[in-house]
Amino acid sequence: MNHPALAEKFARDFSRTTWHDETLWFVRQKRDKAIYPIPEFQELRLLASKIKDHTLSNLDNYLLQFEENARKNGVQVHWATDGEEHNQIVLDIIRNASSIKDKTGTIKMVKSKSMLTEECHLNPFLQKNGVEVVDTDLGERIVQFRNEPPSHIVMPAIHLKKEDVGETFHEHLGTPKGEKDPQALTEAARQHLRQKFIEADVALTGVNFAVAETGSFVVCTNEGNADLGVNLANVHIACMGMEKLIPKIEHLSVFIRLLARSATGQPVTTYTSHFTKPAEGKEMHIVIVDNGRTQQLGRSDFRNSLKCIRCGACMNTCPVYRRSGGHSYDFTVPGPIGAILSPNIDLHKYSSLPFASTLCGSCSDVCPVKIDIHVQLYKWRQVVSKENELPASKKWGMKGLAKMLAMPKVYDLGGKLARSALRVLPHGMTHAKGLNPWAIARELPDAPKQSFKEWYSKNKKS
Amino acid sequence: MKVALFIPCYVDQFYPNVGINTLQLLEKLGVEVAYPLQQTCCGQPMANSGCEQDSKDVYHHFVDTFADYEYIVTPSGSCTYHVRKHYDIIDQTPAVQQVRKGVYELVDFLENVLKVEEIPVHFPHKVGLHLSCHGQRGLRQANASEITGDKGGQILTLLKKLKGIEITHLERNDECCGFGGSFCITEEAVSARMGQDRIADHVRHGTKVLTGGDMSCLMHLEGIVKRQQVPIKVMHIAEILNGSQP
């Protein structure tokens, strides 16, 4: 299904849509409160944008520098062209790890949040190969129980109410039926996850920032689940998109100041963990993934979408996202940023996403790294049209309209006829819901007898 | 000062009064205004739908129509934004450059070219201002809440000069109305919902007259006002500044 169809389905539940909109708007307001008092916030955005621009235009060098320094630290670095290769690499690391290879029982993995592994569909792949995978971020665990994808990149279960979570936990964790107290539900998840942490053979994390000059990387969480997993398991695998680099450790503070404020309105995430080398007797691996990023880097109009630090602010602010839900995008990264990343992956499948926007520009103004998201949405629309992926009715309708608007006499006559028709035809016909989507919730404007031009010609023309 | 009036296609066809008020307002302020009769549209409807290549003939027609004028004034932030921002796909001849530089949204023209200080209008009504995104974030005619808590902007500045006026304080000062050109049809469900939410905000806070700089947003919002039979009168800012009453 395309975005309008999925959005319509979501918006049909009026009160739930209200709740979803207000919940995310609350996060947007928290963000506003966190950034207004910082006089240099706009300067920070500009600085972050420039650091990322610089990094992207020298990405080849910084990637090699990062690899070299990580190896010096005793970290094993792997390169994956696409999701499939990434998944195979992860499986091979697990199977070959000295602490795991002789294990007879089920291999157990705990994961902290990683949108990249969602993008690569790692979980089903590992499960198919006999690995138990447990997402340890609370929101991710909830959607994992429900066999759903995350609906938001920072708050994966934001589409669910506490009652929904209560039901899910009743089914999977045996909490009392009807339990909806957040404290009690969180405690149940905590007890459940503790056991999983203790049993884990391998911990997988994402990467928020990778620093080229040190070969180290940073993982930001609020729950401390990345740290708990990594410190208990013998093997740590960190998966990163190749755009996660920053050149120097001194650049990190710029991004750390922006990330949590933009994401949730917190000054900083509860945990900002730096990983440099494996502990004595343990293994640390980094998998660097392309999966379409090089292709996007090659698109001059769209390359700066790779500046994204995955804060989710564009989702929280987007009036369309708030009223259509993350699942309506049907892509790993939903919302405005997803709508400019997804056509790079599959233009045909995601051709409706660049149109899932009014081009209001709020996303670009809220973006901590100043990605011109709404400009890119406009440009993707042109690509969708050029690649012949527009619906035929739109394509030919627009061609006809363009012809008419280039010929003043045809335009004048067309307008006059249309207005006459609107005046003459019965309301039931002009407002027939099956024929005129405008009229499902709106009245048409009154059609005046005279256009402005006709009035002017009669009254003002000298 | 050679000034032309551009009345956007949908305003021409559906809201002639907005055009008349714009013209009268400019004339009252002593501006001699020409209205070239061959004008049609800026080309935005096709371009926002992905068909900017089809729009090129419309762009050329627009430029041919207005190239001889120093200023092209229009009661639309959205059309102004389109000409300034998106006429970059045709050859940048001196005429194209002149038109892109000379096109002005009405209120921007009043404040920054005519330097209007006083508006001698008594408007004793509670007025809700809808900021069009293209005027606000596109042309930067008003501050954006993503950047600052200061809600100042060009239209608000002029409205505050009217005698007897009361301005509505909204919960969401600059949320998009959901019109979005062809979006209002292709994404009907979300578009309508966005408009309903804007109207609800105005109703909750007592708006009696809803105004703004773009009739396209207002057409969409008026459609909802009429369907829901809400006691709000929708007026373009040109009508209010020209002394029309609800």
In terms of CA atoms, which chain B residue is nearest residue A3?
A: B187
For chain B, which residues score pLDDT lower than 70?
none
Please tell me the pTM assigned to this model.
0.97
Distance from CA of A401 to the nearest CA of B (A): 8
Arithmetic mean of pLDDT, A308-325 = 98
DSSP letter string, A91-137: HHHHHH-TTTTT--S-EEEEE---HHHHHTTHHHHHHHTTEEEEE-S
B59 CB near a chain A CB, below 8 Å? Answer: no
For A210-239, what is each residue's pLDDT tens digit? Answer: 999 999 999 999 999 999 999 999 999 999
The number of residues making up chain B comes to 246
Given this model, what pLDDT does residue B92 score? Answer: 98
Distance from CA of A453 to the nearest CA of B (A): 6
- pLDDT of A369 > 60? The answer is yes
State the Cα–Cα distance between residues A263 and A313, nearest whole angstrom. 5
- What share of residues in chain B are helix, strand, coil (percent, to 5)? 50, 15, 40
Given this model, what pLDDT does residue A378 score? Answer: 98
How far is residue A108 from each of residues A87, A116, A241, measured CA to CA in Å? 16, 20, 24
State the Cα–Cα distance between residues B231 and A279, nearest whole angstrom. 69
Nearest to A11 among B52, B55, B190 (CB): B190
State the Cα–Cα distance between residues B46 and B241, nearest whole angstrom. 31
Nearest to B186 among A355, A408, A442 (CB): A355
Given this model, what pLDDT does residue B173 score? Answer: 97
For residue B214, list chain A residues with Cβ-Cβ distance below 8 A: none
Reported in sequence order, the residue ranges of chain B that DSSP labels E, i.e. its strands, are 3-5, 33-34, 71-74, 103-105, 126-130, 166-167, 209-212, 233-236
How far is residue A36 from each of residues A39, A49, A437, B148, B198, measured CA to CA in Å? 7, 19, 40, 6, 24
The number of residues making up chain A comes to 462
In terms of CA atoms, which chain B residue is nearest residue A361?
A: B137
- Encoded tokens for B123: 């408007």
B126-241 folds as Rossmann fold (3.40.50)
> Using CB atoms within 10 A of its CB, is residue B25 exposed (0-12), middle (13-18) or buried (19+)?
buried
Long-range contacts, stretch A89-93, CB < 8 angstroms, 24+ apart = A89/A287, A90/A122, A90/A126, A90/A204, A90/A237, A90/A239, A90/A287, A91/A125, A91/A126, A91/A129, A91/A131, A93/A202, A93/A235, A93/A237, A93/A283, A93/A285, A93/A287
> Using CB atoms within 10 A of its CB, is residue A395 exposed (0-12), middle (13-18) or buried (19+)?
middle
Given this model, what pLDDT does residue A461 score? Answer: 67
Q: Are the CB atoms for A262 and A313 separated by under 8 Å?
A: yes
For residue A357, list chain B residues with Cβ-Cβ distance below 8 A: 180, 183
Q: Are strands A283-289 and A235-241 parallel, antiparallel or unpaired?
A: parallel
State the Cα–Cα distance between residues A241 and A307, nearest whole angstrom. 11
State the Cα–Cα distance between residues A48 and A40, nearest whole angstrom. 12
For A258-275, what is each residue's pLDDT tens digit? Answer: 999 999 999 999 999 999
The single residue listed with the structure tokens 């957040």 is A182
Nearest to B227 among A21, A408, A441 (CB): A441
Mean pLDDT of chain A: 97
Domains and CATH numbers, chain A: 1-33+299-390 (1.10.1060), 38-291 (3.40.50.10420), 403-459 (no CATH)
For A144-192, what is each residue's pLDDT tens digit? Answer: 999 999 999 999 999 999 999 999 999 999 999 999 999 999 999 999 9
Distance from CA of A218 to the nearest CA of B (A): 27
Given this model, what pLDDT does residue A462 score? Answer: 57
- Encoded tokens for A208: 């928020």
Give the N- to C-terminal CA distance of chain A in Å, as an integer.
Answer: 57
Q: What angle do CA A245, A249, A255 make, to 5 degrees?
A: 65
- A397 HSE (CA, 13 A, CB side): 11
- pLDDT of A1 > 80? The answer is no
In terms of CA atoms, which chain A residue is nearest residue B62?
A: A406
CA proximity to A314, closest of A303, A306, A322: A322
- Encoded tokens for B118: 């006083």
For residue A3, list chain B residues with Cβ-Cβ distance below 8 A: 187
Kindly determine whether residue A408 and residue B40, on different chains, have CB atoms separated by under 8 Å.
Answer: yes
Kindly determine whether residue A25 and residue B172, on different chains, have CB atoms separated by under 8 Å.
Answer: yes
Q: Are the CB atoms for A350 and A311 separated by under 8 Å?
A: no
ipTM of the assembly?
0.97
Domain chopping of chain B, boundaries: 3-112, 126-241
Q: Are the CB atoms for B124 and B88 separated by under 8 Å?
A: no
Helices (H), A387-426: 392-405, 408-424
> Which secondary-structure segment (H or E) carries A194?
helix A182-199
State the Cα–Cα distance between residues A444 and A429, nearest whole angstrom. 12
- pLDDT of A434 > 90? The answer is no
Number of Cβ within 10 Å of residue B36's Cβ equals 15
DSSP letter string, B9-35: HHHHHH-HHHHHHHHHHHHHTT--EE-
Q: Are the CB atoms for B186 and A397 separated by under 8 Å?
A: no
Residue A203 DSSP symbol: E
Nearest to A456 among B35, B51, B133 (CB): B35
